[in-house]
Amino acid sequence: MVAGLRGWRASDKHTIPADSQILINFHHLHRNPSTWGPDADKFNPDRFLPENCTQRHPYAFLPFSAGPRNCIGLRYAWHSLKIIMVHVLRRYRLRTTLTMDQIKIRFSVVTRILNGCPISLEER
């Protein structure tokens, strides 16, 4: 949410009134079929290959914000996440019995799984 905007001009067509609060629906943005294709709800890591990233708008995926107020910890966060995941995945195999249609989510500032997500770890 962005607070305290004073008549910020989003484009030539739109002006956001003073003292407006803005909420970006990241869930919809990150699952928009016009950007991600007809299978937008499916996990496809190939979407983030360099050659595929150049074909879409730079603000189509915003986990850490973008633009002049971009997250200063972006690179650190991504590197930390990758290092942790490598250590976990080298030692354990993760499994779940859930399918995507069984997961119920709640939209808020942070998207949460309402009905839980049981994961089992098997040592490799």
Structure confidence by residue, pLDDT tens digits, 13-71: 777 788 888 877 888 888 889 889 999 989 898 988 888 888 888 788 887 666 666 77
Most confident of 2-11, 42-51, 53-62, 108-117: 42-51
- DSSP class of residue 83 equals H
Phi-psi label, residue 12: left if phi above 0, alpha if psi -120 to 50, beta otherwise? alpha
Phi-psi label, residue 4: left if phi above 0, alpha if psi -120 to 50, beta otherwise? left
For the cut 90, the answer to whether the pLDDT of residue 116 exceeds it is no
Tell me: is residue 53 an annotated ligand-binding position: no
pTM of the model: 0.48
Contact by Cβ (8 Å): 118, 97: yes
